[in-house]
Structure 1
Amino acid sequence: MLLSIDFENLHQILHTLYQEMMPLCSNLTGVAKGIAGLGALFYVAAKVWQALARAEPIDVYPLLRPFAVGLCIMFFPTFVLGTINTVLSPVVKGCHGMLETQTFDMNKYREQKDRLEYEANKRNPETAYLVDKEEFDKKLDELGWSAGDLITMGGMYIDRAEYRMKQNIRRWFQELLELLFQSAGLVIDTIRTFFLIVLSILGPIAFAISVYDGFQSTLTQWITRYISVYMWLPVSDLFSSVLARIQVLMLTKDIEAMSDPTFIPDSSNTVYMVFLIIGIFGYFTIPTVANWIIMAGGVSGANRAMNTTAAKAGNVAAAGAGAAVGNVAGKLIK
């Protein structure tokens, strides 16, 4: 089975990896304190010298900035990372709760649709023997051993084998698209975890450099980049929730149609596969959407590179998906 991989477990492993790597930022605290201390010395000396040279009173308030940054460096894992993660954690949990609700509804409606589809095919005399073994054996028992009956019997075996082969092809292609869909989400989560680990470990150095004149924007840039990357996960869950909701609406419409006894179901699931392909491409727009929430200029280059790579990979995937769907559709029409 293509979907034998437990993707939820892989996402949990990435979350655990981030939690275990966060304390490593304390290893750079000593270096950062040295850089920040030297920068604070130059910063305070320059401000005091300027005030004395101009015979102006010394403004103490701006001189407190390097000391505040120094306190952030000393307690970086708890004071900086802990505060940001605590504030943003409810957003992540809320979006993930929406995803779990929509996924549960989708699975419930999918099981109901499969059951109604099986019953509809079983009611139809032309397809009953294809989906039900008992109906197939019953139809065989009604035939005799004449030449015409033997030809009919052989045709029934061929039709049943062809039907099962088509179902296996559709199921395999659907599982392949679902695997690619889940893999796209795992790629986004892996890159997000890598970015967060790098920002967390090197965060004290960024704070220390921000003490120097001309590098003050490093502090705000680090905060905006960290928050922007952190928001990738809730945006990803919202995107998955939207796709799940669309599938629920489609399943609800199919279930309502199947309530009509004369309705002949279409088991190709072509629309569902199309939305899976859309979802695969849509996952790579998540960094751009997260960047709309809080602007992080330093991540835009990574976003462009990711979108370019996704576009190139998407062309290949779209060509393969189109060929496969066309092949299946051609067989159905034939």
Structure 2
Amino acid sequence: MVLQIEFESLHQVLRSLYDEMMPLCSQMTGVSRGIAGLGALFYVAYRVWQSLSRAEPVDVFPLLRPFAVGLCVMFFPIIVLGTINSVLSPVVSGTHQILEGQTLDLQKLQAQKDELEKEALLRSPETAFLASDEEFDKKLEELGWSPSDIATMAGMYVERGMYSMQKGIRDWFRELVEILFQAAALVVDTIRTFFLIVLSILGPLAFALSIWDGFQSTLTQWISRYVSVYLWLPVADLFSSMLAKIQVLMVENDIEQLSDPNFIPDGSNSAYIIFMLIGIVGYFTIPTVTGWVIQAGGGVGNFGRNVNQTAMKAGSLAGGAAGAAAGNAMGRIKGGLMDKE
């Protein structure tokens, strides 16, 4: 829980960084206005001269384009960024609420599962001393000082020490995987924030250049890239929600098994770790998935290709080690769902 709060604060720092960097857009409007004004002059003059040379009436409506774009350049933070962010903000808020709901359910179920695991260990006389110090002391008091009892005591100490060591290693590896999972999300969010800041600061220049003949596609390319990068966060939240839902199904299945008095948990958490590894690889496919929603070219597409190649290599390495355990985990989920039906 503390780890989650720390990473959430880092994500909040990135949000604040974006807000703090937005005033820099005004520093580009002066240069951009000059480029836009010169482009509008040539744009209008060329078309008016072309119509006059052909003895055709001047079509005024197409001539309004450079003035509309120039108006966007002059009030870029309000008209362009304000409009786009206002339209896309509900999408970000909606997906984040979905993620918070799934995470809250998972935390409640995980706490219930941990309590049931402890109760399951306490039910069995052979494993009760592993989970409780009182049961361990009580069992030691029941033993005498005969050679067989001394050997039993030594075995109990060794078994309890091995259990504590294995539990510590599992908890350490689980925490390491969780840190890597959160770090992958932070990497994607950091790159997203960097792209948005660059696009926002240089946006007035892109709009100004779009007035010139031959650069008209700059306007649509900038909008598509900005929207595509902005949607990385909602797609990441949806991906995290999917992983959280899978974990909820797994924990619910474990809770049903723990309800059986004869069931003894092993506490390996292998399926949980496997899906965390899958999540680490899956986070780097977010640029490609977002590109399916909003088609954007240029640097974002190249970044997505490079990231996907890296993710595929990492996935092939992780898949060989985790394939068998993943099959067992999915079998547990499927079995739990069939039992419900």
TM-score w.r.t. the length of structure 2 is 0.91
Q: How far did 1:149 drift?
A: 1.1
Match for residue 110 of structure 1? Answer: 110
CA distance in 2, matches of 1:39, 1:319: 58
Q: How far did 1:168 drift?
A: 0.3
Match for residue 146 of structure 1? Answer: 146
Match for residue 309 of structure 2? Answer: 308
Q: Which amino acid aligns with 2:196?
A: L
Q: How far did 1:252 drift?
A: 0.8
8 Å CA contact 1:2, 1:179 repeated in 2: no
CA distance in 2, matches of 1:64, 1:102: 50
* Farther-moved stretch of structure 1 (313-322 vs 272-281): 313-322
Is the aligned partner of 1:127 residue 2:124? no
Q: Which string of whole-angstrom CA distances, capped at 9 and with x for unpartnered residues, describes residues 244-300 of structure 1?
A: 011111111111111111112221011111100100000001111111111001221
* Farther-moved stretch of structure 1 (100-109 vs 310-319): 310-319
Q: Which string of whole-angstrom CA distances, capped at 9 and with x for unpartnered residues, describes residues 86-141 of structure 1?
A: 00000000000000000000000000000000000110111111111111101100
Match for residue 330 of structure 1? Answer: none
Q: How far did 1:311 drift?
A: 3.9
Q: How far did 1:319 drift?
A: 7.8
Match for residue 331 of structure 1? Answer: none
Is the aligned partner of 1:195 residue 2:195? yes
8 Å CA contact 1:3, 1:175 repeated in 2: no
Is the aligned partner of 1:96 residue 2:93? no
| Paired residue secondary structure (1:6) | helix
| Paired residue secondary structure (1:260) | coil
Match for residue 217 of structure 1? Answer: 217
Equivalent positions of 1:177-256 (< 5 A) are: 177-256=177-256
CA distance in 2, matches of 1:117, 1:312: 37
Match for residue 176 of structure 1? Answer: 176
Is the aligned partner of 1:21 residue 2:21? yes
CA distance in 2, matches of 1:57, 1:91: 46
8 Å CA contact 1:81, 1:200 repeated in 2: yes
8 Å CA contact 1:116, 1:258 repeated in 2: yes
Equivalent positions of 1:2-13 (< 5 A) are: 3=3, 6-13=6-13
CA distance in 1, matches of 2:22, 2:3: 31
CA distance in 2, matches of 1:119, 1:279: 31
TM-score w.r.t. the length of structure 1 is 0.93
How many residue pairs get aligned? The number is 323
Q: Which string of whole-angstrom CA distances, capped at 9 and with x for unpartnered residues, describes residues 195-235 of structure 1?
A: 00000000000000000111101000000000000000000
Q: How far did 1:314 drift?
A: 5.1
Q: Which amino acid aligns with 1:217?
A: S
Q: Which amino acid aligns with 2:29?
A: T
| Paired residue secondary structure (1:297) | coil
Q: How far did 1:2 drift?
A: 9.9
* Farther-moved stretch of structure 1 (19-28 vs 311-320): 311-320
CA distance in 2, matches of 1:225, 1:289: 14
Cα 1:319–1:171 change in 2 (3 A) is farther
Cα RMSD, aligned residues only: 1.9
8 Å CA contact 2:285, 2:311 repeated in 1: no
CA distance in 1, matches of 2:128, 2:63: 84
8 Å CA contact 1:199, 1:226 repeated in 2: yes
Gap regions ≥5 residues in structure 2 = 327-341
